[in-house]
């Protein structure tokens, strides 16, 4: 338990809480980006360098920006009249607290049965080999998934253009 | 055993047609009445045809239908017919058809009335043929329900209270009887009357029953007497025996005429039937211990009801008490059978008493129903009044009616040559042989009966005509046929009692052979 | 002979059928009804005469015929036989009943000619005749009892024939109920006899209840004190006879029965029905005398005393009556007492001889009285009549014959011989001399009241509002029966004189020998002289007292009122017997009825009401418990459940977040549970 | 507190925070933010277990995280597209006003 981990954890949690708590969505997204960065730092500490950089690139670089755009499109930056939180926000908070209690209790009671003994760091090459070797099938599926998601996202955002009163959304009619 | 199910047919016919008439008969009263009468006729034909089909003269159960029902509880579907049942079946049909004939004045919901009468008939048919307690009890109670509604829906203005009285009284008696039988069942595990009678004859019934209660410190005698009282209560209410008769006068008076006919004509016979069919064979032993007390109650019934009838002013109440009086003789005869030990009694006296009881049942049913019809007719003609003082001199206005009612009255009074005499003669012959003191003490009852019946005749028919504003019209063809047929049967049975005795006598001998008196 | 007995049932059945048919005829069919009744009775009469001849031919043999009526028990005892008997007793009674009946039927044609219910009258008369004929020829006690009751019914119907009159209605009811008192005791005797001996046939070729074997068995059984069973049963049967034959103390109905039409009084309440009791006693006589030889049985003593007292009592009452029919009614009671006396002391022959002669002259007297009443526009009070001999000669003469027969005027008249026989028997009675003196007193009183009546009705001049102009002799249809009866009243006496006791011999099954010497025996005339003296004394006193009054033509006070010490009111009021009943039995019954009714209305119905109240209270209580405790708890639970359900349902609001919250919470709980459970 | 426990607790806290965001925020985008946080918490777990748990040389934990990141990117794209579509349809991006799921 060193100072570095404490700092990382603090940044990460603070960003997360701020992202959840802040009223202005744009601010919240920025806080989220901070939190992502904290997580990336934790990866680096854990010895997964590639993952840490990937995290920074994808999350802080891509996802956060994407969200900012979405906020701007939906005019989510303005604070609404009814508040940002749901009427019974405390229920959600309570449940979250409960979940945290359970998970924390589980984690703390786990103990460390294996300390970081014969741990050898892994290079990016090894990672790539295992990706195209052992996990190649999963990688293919992921590719298809990404393609499908891309097409789906485009279709969703685009088909509504000429049809404002459409009821394509969900199966709520039944 | 596997012959044609006559008795089931006989029960189902009125039951189904009755339910059908109640369900679909609304607004078709002409048809429902015809259906009801048709079913009556068909049942009557069936009953008469049974005399050819089965050998009633053998005395044992005939046309038996027996199927397991709830074997673990000893409940069976057990039907059988003998002379006693046959006579009462016939009586049921006769009285029911008379009641339907007299029911012309049932104004509202006539289809319901017809249906209820049919259902009552089915219940009575079942009661008079079932040989298993549960099976029998089912019909015993089944007949109560239509009777309750018949009293409640048609009749005088107090009918609601009165019908409830009637229902609760009878129900209380039935419950007592049920308890008695359950106690018996607990000891024997047997519900069939013939088997129980056999046990009783072998003297094993009461020891078996008492075995169950030994732990409570009760002797056989106490248990037997307790059961006797419980079962007797069920029958005594129905007959009724004093002091369990309090429901009767007001019920008979408040019920409408056809319903009174059914009540006194058939339903009161259920009690006596039970006494002969169930009480005597099963309680032959305990009866010997208590018969003087029971005979005393019967005597009280005979005398007090006759005297009470003398004090009545309402014609229907007079007849109601007269009914109690007449059935009191039946009670007396049944209880007197307990007096017969091997020394004092002779089988002829017992046979006479029992034959007399059965004849008296039929005769009283016929006569009382006729008289109630007559009184209903008088009430209708007199604008709904039936006080004794409101009549007078009717013989001048309605001679045919007076002739018919007079015959019925004298039949009720026990005049020889009419049906009432034979039954009373046989009962007195039997009772005198078995318990002379009881016959002596019952004699004034006969006298007072004559007094109140003749007073009624005198007030209604004799003397100067009392004008109440009505114009009296003599009986129409329908009433003439109905009453006339009843009177003809009275004369016929008075002159030729063998008609019924040929069936009842073998039954009586069979019953007596099974009694260890 | 044997085949003839089989057909004897026609004798009672013919009139019965006639009654049934005319009962169904419409009211206008007068001719049909009368013709049918008279025709059938005439046929019965002919058949009766043939039977009589047949039994005479065979020398008094007894012939039986019976059939099985119904079976009510095992064996011979359990079979009820009905049977009829042709013997001298039944044959002579048959002839008498059908003969007298026929005459009265014919007489009624005239008497009832103007009545609206003419057809009914003949229906009832035929019913009566049939029942009475059945009664006398019955060989079974049950059959006899049945006919006995039917006779009572016919009497009831005929007394109440003029039903609009309340008095007639009351009299009819009184007659039926009073006789029923006796009948029921009779019924008990019948049941006892039948139950004990196993047979109710009188004669049954050695096993009947009047034959030696059964009688011996009955005599052997002692019941009360020293009385044998046969005596007790005899006493019970006698009670029936007391009711029917109007003996003390059940005689009260008979005078009232005069409310019926006069032919009815003649037929039923003089000649035939009331004699049924006497006949019954004659029929069961073997039972009454059964016992040790030479001992007078107690029943006979009772009979003798009751008969004797009745004879005197009724005669005394008759003395002070004013109604012509009422006098005759009391006279009937008195004569019935004589018959009983004769039966008890002298045997069947003596009693039945008087029965037969009395039937003739009492019918004659009643029909004569009816003729008078008919002629004098329904006037029955003898003080308002008078002098009728001038306008109604036939009635006068025939009535006179009847009166002389009744008083027992010597030699020529039947009543003399039959009454002499009774007095002789009484005199010879070993037990007590009392009945003899009672009989003699009766003779004197009879002579007196008949003279009084005769003188006041026919002698002197008319009194009251009966004017001479309207009085007329009755039509031949009425007078011819009178003449026939008058001649019979004379003739019947000669078949039973001491010189030629044919009837007695016939009844007892012996050959009668004509022996004039017996007529002049000292014992005969010694006694006859005394009774003749009594007769003459009575007539003389009557003549002396009433002759002058009758001649005066004005209604006067009865000289009897000068009798000492309130005797006259006592006589007039019939010794207050009716009043005694009115103040004892009737209120007692009414009281009993009242209390039985009260018991019912208040005690039993009250108990019922009490039970109802208790039930109601319990019901209300349990209702409250139900509503306040059980129901309320349940309701509240339901309400709470519903409320919570409503609240819960709010959670299902369609918001994904809410669902997610559930999932989260559930997961947390599950995991903790699992963890917790796994760690144990 | 061992290092593994520390990372696990951090992951749990991150997850709970994300969950709280998902459950309490009205805006769909904010909800999406919460979801992203929860995903990251899961990823953190994978890596922590890879480093301190039964990892081994096959680098399964890392590969899983890579996949998850990829899927999360796709999810974010599709989710945001949905949010935009919902916004167009309902003129709101508040999830508590979208109640079509209610029966």
Q: What is the pLDDT of residues B301-323, one digit of tens each?
A: 998 888 888 888 888 889 999 99
- pLDDT value at position B47? 87
- A window 20-79, beta carbon within 8 A of D: 20, 25, 28-29, 32, 35-36, 39, 42-43, 46-48, 50-51, 54-55, 58-59, 62-63, 66-67, 69-71, 73-74, 76
Q: What ipTM goes with this model?
A: 0.66
Considering only the beta carbons, identify the residue of A91, A102, A105 that sits closest to C661.
A91
Give mean pLDDT, residues B423-445: 88
Q: Is A106 on the interface with C (CB under 8 A)?
A: yes
For residue A147, with 0-12 CB atoms within 10 Å meaning exposed, 13-18 middle and 19 or more buried, which class applies? exposed
Chain C environment of D28 (Cβ under 8 Å) = none
Give mean pLDDT, residues B418-437: 88
- pLDDT value at position C592? 85
Residue pointed to by tokens 């009821």: A167
B88-146 pLDDT per residue, tens = 999 999 999 888 888 876 667 778 888 888 999 999 999 999 888 888 898 888 888 88
- pLDDT value at position D103? 46
B105 CB neighbour count, 10 Å cutoff: 14
Q: Which residue of C has its CA nearest to D23?
A: C657
Q: Both ends of chain D: CA-CA distance in Å?
A: 48
Q: How confident is the model at residue B367 (pLDDT cuts 50, 70, 90)?
A: very high
Q: What are the distances in angstroms from CA A23 to CA A19, A76, A77, A93, C656?
A: 9, 10, 9, 16, 21
Q: Tell which of A32, A90, A106 to mutate to test the D interface (max D CBs under 10 Å).
A: A32
- pLDDT value at position A171? 37
Q: How confident is the model at residue D96 (pLDDT cuts 50, 70, 90)?
A: low
Q: How confident is the model at residue A174 (pLDDT cuts 50, 70, 90)?
A: very low
Q: Is D31 on the interface with A (CB under 8 A)?
A: no
What's the rounded Cα separation, in Å, for the pair C343 and C557?
A: 40
Considering only the beta carbons, identify the residue of C655, C660, C664 that sits closest to D99.
C655
D35 CB neighbour count, 10 Å cutoff: 18
- Least confident range of A10-14, B9-13, B157-161, B259-263: B157-161
Three-state secondary structure call for residue B387: strand
Q: Is the pLDDT of residue A14 over 80?
A: yes
C28 CB neighbour count, 10 Å cutoff: 10
Give mean pLDDT, residues B428-446: 87
- pLDDT value at position C423? 86
Give the list of residues 6+ apart from residue B435 with CB closer than 8 angstroms, or none: B291, B292, B295, B336, B339
- pLDDT value at position B365? 92
Q: Is the pLDDT of residue A82 over 80?
A: no
Q: Is D91 on the interface with C (CB under 8 A)?
A: no
- pLDDT value at position C634? 80
Q: At what angle do helices C30-57 and C118-137 cross, to 10 degrees?
A: 20
Structure tokens at B299: 């005597």
What's the rounded Cα separation, in Å, for the pair B473 and B486?
A: 21
Q: Which of A60-64, B71-75, C202-206, D37-41 is most confident?
A: D37-41
Closest among C253, C250, C236, C343 to C296, alpha carbons compared: C343
Contact between C50 and C98 (Cβ < 8 Å) = no
Q: How far is D46 from chain C (nearest CA, A)?
A: 19
Contact between C274 and C332 (Cβ < 8 Å) = yes
Q: How confident is the model at residue A167 (pLDDT cuts 50, 70, 90)?
A: very low
Question: Cβ D99–C654 below 8 Å, yes or no?
Answer: yes
Average pLDDT value over all residues in chain C: 83
Closest among C421, C267, C169, C601 to B465, alpha carbons compared: C169
b/e C115-139 (16+ beta carbons within 10 angstroms → b):
eebbbbbbbbbbbbbbbbbbbbbbb
Question: Cβ C589–B356 below 8 Å, yes or no?
Answer: no
Residue ranges for chain C with pLDDT beneath 50: none
C611-660 pLDDT per residue, tens = 878 888 998 998 888 888 777 778 888 888 888 888 877 666 666 777 78
Chain B environment of C160 (Cβ under 8 Å) = 462
- pLDDT value at position C678? 66
What sign for the dihedral angle of Cα C587, C589, C592, C593? negative
- Characterize the bridge pairing of strands C63-71 and B62-70: unpaired
What sign for the dihedral angle of Cα A161, A165, A166, A169? positive
B286-296 pLDDT per residue, tens = 888 888 898 89
- pLDDT value at position C593? 83
Query: Is the domain covering D3-90 a CATH 2.40.37.10 domain?
Result: no
What's the rounded Cα separation, in Å, for the pair D63 and D68?
A: 9
- pLDDT value at position C520? 67
For residue C488, with 0-12 CB atoms within 10 Å meaning exposed, 13-18 middle and 19 or more buried, which class applies? buried
Q: Tell which of C657, C658, C662 to mutate to test the D interface (max D CBs under 10 Å).
A: C657
- Least confident range of B20-29, C240-249, D54-63, D94-103: D94-103
Chain A environment of D96 (Cβ under 8 Å) = 86-87
Give the list of residues 6+ apart from residue A157 with CB closer than 8 angstroms, or none: D81, D84, D85
> What 3 state SS string does chain A have?
CCHHHHHHHHHHHHHHHHHHHCCCHHHHHHHHHHHHHHHHHHHHHHCCHHHHHHHHHHHHHHHHHHHHHHHHHCCCCCCCCCCCECCCHHHHHHHHHHHHHHHHHHHHHHCCCCCCCCCCCCCHHHHHHHHHCCCHHHHHHHHHHHHHHHHHHHHHHHHCCCCCCCCCCCCCCC
Q: Is the peptide bond preceding residue C169 cis, with omega within 30 degrees of 0?
A: no
C489: enclosing H helix or E strand: helix C476-491
Q: Which chains have 3 or more CB–CB distances shorter than 8 Å to chain C?
A: A, B, D
What's the rounded Cα separation, in Å, for the pair C30 and C28?
A: 5
- pLDDT value at position C45? 92
- pLDDT value at position B247? 83
B517 CB neighbour count, 10 Å cutoff: 19
Give mean pLDDT, residues A135-150: 87
Contact between C420 and C439 (Cβ < 8 Å) = no
């Amino acid at each position: 338990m060193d100072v570095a981990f404490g700092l990382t954890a603090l940044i990460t949690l603070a960003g997360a809480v701020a992202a959840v708590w802040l009223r202005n969505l744009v601010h919240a997204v920025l806080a989220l980006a901070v939190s992502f960065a904290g997580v990336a730092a934790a990866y680096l500490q854990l010895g997964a360098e590639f993952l840490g950089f990937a995290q920074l690139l994808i999350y802080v670089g891509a996802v956060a920006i994407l969200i900012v755009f979405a906020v701007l499109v939906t005019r989510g930056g303005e604070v609404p009249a009814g508040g940002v939180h749901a009427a019974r926000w405390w229920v959600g908070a309570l449940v979250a607290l409960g979940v945290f209690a359970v998970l924390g209790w589980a984690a703390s009671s786990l103990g460390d049965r294996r300390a970081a003994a014969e741990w050898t760091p892994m290079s990016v090459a090894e990672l790539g080999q295992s990706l195209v070797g052992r996990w190649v099938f999963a990688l293919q599926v992921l590719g298809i998934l990404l393609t499908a998601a891309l097409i789906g996202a485009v279709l969703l955002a685009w088909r509504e253009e000429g049809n404002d009163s459409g009821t394509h959304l969900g199966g709520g009619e039944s | 055993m596997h012959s044609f199910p006559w008795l089931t047919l006989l029960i189902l016919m009125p039951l189904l047609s009755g339910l059908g008439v109640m369900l679909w008969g609304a607004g078709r009263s002409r048809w429902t009445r015809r259906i009801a009468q048709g079913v009556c006729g068909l049942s009557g034909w069936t009953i008469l045809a049974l005399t050819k089909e089965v050998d009633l003269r053998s005395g044992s159960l005939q046309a038996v239908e027996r199927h397991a029902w709830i074997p673990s509880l000893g409940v069976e579907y057990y039907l059988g017919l003998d002379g006693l049942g046959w006579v009462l079946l016939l009586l049921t049909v006769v009285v029911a058809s008379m009641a339907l004939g007299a029911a012309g004045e049932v104004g509202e919901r006539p289809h319901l009335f017809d249906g209820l009468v049919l259902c009552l008939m089915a219940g009575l048919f079942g009661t008079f043929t079932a040989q298993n307690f549960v099976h029998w009890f089912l019909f015993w109670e089944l007949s109560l329900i239509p009777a309750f509604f018949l009293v409640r829906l048609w009749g005088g203005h107090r009918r609601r209270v009165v019908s409830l009285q009637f229902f609760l009284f009878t129900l209380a008696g039935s419950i007592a009887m049920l308890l008695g039988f359950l106690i018996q069942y607990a000891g024997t595990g047997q519900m069939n009357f013939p088997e129980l009678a056999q046990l009783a004859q072998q003297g094993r019934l009461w020891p078996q029953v008492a075995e169950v209660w030994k732990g409570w410190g009760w002797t056989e005698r106490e248990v037997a007497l307790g059961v006797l009282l419980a079962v007797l209560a069920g029958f005594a209410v129905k007959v009724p025996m004093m002091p369990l008769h309090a429901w009767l006068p007001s019920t008979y008076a408040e019920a409408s005429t056809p319903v009174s006919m059914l009540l006194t004509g058939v339903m009161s016979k259920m009690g006596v039937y039970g006494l002969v069919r169930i009480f005597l064979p099963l309680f032959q032993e305990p009866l010997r211990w208590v018969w003087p007390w029971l005979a005393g109650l019967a005597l009280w019934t005979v005398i007090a009801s006759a005297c009470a009838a003398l004090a009545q002013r309402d014609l229907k109440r007079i007849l109601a008490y007269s009914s109690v009086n007449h059935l009191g003789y039946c009670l007396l005869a049944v209880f007197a059978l307990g007096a017969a030990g091997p020394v004092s009694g002779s089988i002829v006296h017992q046979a006479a008493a029992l034959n007399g009881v059965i004849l008296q049942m039929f005769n009283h049913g016929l006569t009382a129903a006729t008289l109630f019809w007559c009184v209903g007719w008088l009430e209708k003609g007199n604008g709904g009044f039936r006080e004794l003082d409101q009549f007078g001199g009717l013989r001048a206005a309605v001679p045919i009616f007076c002739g018919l009612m007079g015959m019925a009255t004298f039949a009720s009074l026990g005049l020889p040559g009419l049906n009432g005499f034979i039954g009373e003669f046989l009962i007195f012959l039997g009772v005198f042989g078995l318990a002379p003191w009881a016959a002596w003490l019952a004699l004034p009852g006969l006298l007072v009966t004559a007094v109140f019946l003749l007073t009624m005749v005198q007030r209604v028919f004799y003397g100067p005509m009392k004008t109440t504003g009505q114009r009296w019209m003599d009986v129409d063809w329908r009433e003439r046929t109905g009453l006339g047929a009843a009177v003809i049967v009275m004369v016929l049975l008075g002159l030729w009692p063998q008609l019924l005795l040929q069936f009842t006598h073998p039954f009586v001998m069979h019953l007596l052979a099974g009694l260890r008196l | 002979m044997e085949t003839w007995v089989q057909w004897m049932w026609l004798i009672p059945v013919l009139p019965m059928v006639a009654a049934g048919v005319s009962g169904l005829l419409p009211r206008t069919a007068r001719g049909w009804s009368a013709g049918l009744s008279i025709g059938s009775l005439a046929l019965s009469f002919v058949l009766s005469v043939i039977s009589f001849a047949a039994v005479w031919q065979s020398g008094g043999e007894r012939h039986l015929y019976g059939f099985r009526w119904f079976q009510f028990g095992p064996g011979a005892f359990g079979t009820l036989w009905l049977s009829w008997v042709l013997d001298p007793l039944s044959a002579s009674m048959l002839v008498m009943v059908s003969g007298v009946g026929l005459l009265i039927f014919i007489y009624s044609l005239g008497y009832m000619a103007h009545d609206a219910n003419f057809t009914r009258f003949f229906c009832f008369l035929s019913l009566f005749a049939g029942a009475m004929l059945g009664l006398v020829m019955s060989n079974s006690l049950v059959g006899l009892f049945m006919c006995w009751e039917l006779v009572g019914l016919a009497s009831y119907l005929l007394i109440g024939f003029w039903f609009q009159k309340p008095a007639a209605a009351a009299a009819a009811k009184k007659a039926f109920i009073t006789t029923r008192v006796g009948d029921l005791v009779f019924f008990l005797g019948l049941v006892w006899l039948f139950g004990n001996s196993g047979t109710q046939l009188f004669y049954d070729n050695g096993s009947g209840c009047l034959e030696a074997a059964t009688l011996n068995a009955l005599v052997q059984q002692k019941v009360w004190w020293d009385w044998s069973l046969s005596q007790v049963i005899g006493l019970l049967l006698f009670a029936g006879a007391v009711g029917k034959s109007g003996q003390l103390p059940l005689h009260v109905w008979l005078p009232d029965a005069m409310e019926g039409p006069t032919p009815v009084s003649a037929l039923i309440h003089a000649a035939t029905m009331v004699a049924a009791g006497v006949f019954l006693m004659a029929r069961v006589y073997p039972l009454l005398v059964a016992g040790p030889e030479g001992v007078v049985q107690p029943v006979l003593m009772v009979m003798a005393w009751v008969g004797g007292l009745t004879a005197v009592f009724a005669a005394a009452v008759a003395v002070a009556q004013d109604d012509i029919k009422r006098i005759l009614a009391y006279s009937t009671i008195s004569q019935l007492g004589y018959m009983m006396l004769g039966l008890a002391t002298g045997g069947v022959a003596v009693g039945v001889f008087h029965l037969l002669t009395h039937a003739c002259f009492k019918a004659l007297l009643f029909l004569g009285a009816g003729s008078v009443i008919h002629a004098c526009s329904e006037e029955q009070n003898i003080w308002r009549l008078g002098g009728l001999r001038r306008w109604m000669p036939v009635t006068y003469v025939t009535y006179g014959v009847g009166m002389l027969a009744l008083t027992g005027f010597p030699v020529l008249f039947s009543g003399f011989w039959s009454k002499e026989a009774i007095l002789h028997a009484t005199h010879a009675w070993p037990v007590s001399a009392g009945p003899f003196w009672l009989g003699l007193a009766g003779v004197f009183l009879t002579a007196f009241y008949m003279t009084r009546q005769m003188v006041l009705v026919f002698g002197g001049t008319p009194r009251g509002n009966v004017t001479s102009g309207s009085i007329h002799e009755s039509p031949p249809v009425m007078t011819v029966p009178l003449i026939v009866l008058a001649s019979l009243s004379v003739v019947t006496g000669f078949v039973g004189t001491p010189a030629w006791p044919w009837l007695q011999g016939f009844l007892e099954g012996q050959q009668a020998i004509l022996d004039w010497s017996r007529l002049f025996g000292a014992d005969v005339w010694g006694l006859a002289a005394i009774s003749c003296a009594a007769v003459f004394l009575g007539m003389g006193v009557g003549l002396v007292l009433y002759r002058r009054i009758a001649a005066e033509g004005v209604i006067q006070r009865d000289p009897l009122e000068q009798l000492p010490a309130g005797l006259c009111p006592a006589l007039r009021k019939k010794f207050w017997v009716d009043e005694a009943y009115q103040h004892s039995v009737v209120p007692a019954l009414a009281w009993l009825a009242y209390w039985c009714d009260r018991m019912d209305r208040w005690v039993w119905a009250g108990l019922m009401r009490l039970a109802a109240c208790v039930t109601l209270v319990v019901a209300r209580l349990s209702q409250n418990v139900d509503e306040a405790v059980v129901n309320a708890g349940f309701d509240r639970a339901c309400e709470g459940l519903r409320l919570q359900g409503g609240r819960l349902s709010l959670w299902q609001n369609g918001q994904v977040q809410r669902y997610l919250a559930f999932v989260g919470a559930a997961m947390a709980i599950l995991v903790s549970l699992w963890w917790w459970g796994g760690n144990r | 507190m061992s290092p593994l426990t520390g990372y696990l607790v951090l992951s749990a806290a991150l997850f709970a925070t994300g969950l709280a965001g998902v459950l309490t925020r009205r805006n769909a985008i904010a909800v999406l933010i919460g979801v992203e946080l929860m995903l990251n918490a899961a990823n953190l777990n994978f890596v922590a277990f890879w480093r301190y748990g039964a990892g081994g040389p096959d680098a399964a934990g890392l590969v899983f995280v890579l996949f998850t990141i990829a899927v999360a990117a796709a999810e974010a794209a599709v989710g945001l597209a949905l949010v935009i579509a919902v916004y167009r349809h309902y003129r709101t991006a508040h999830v508590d006003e979208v109640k079509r799921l209610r029966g």
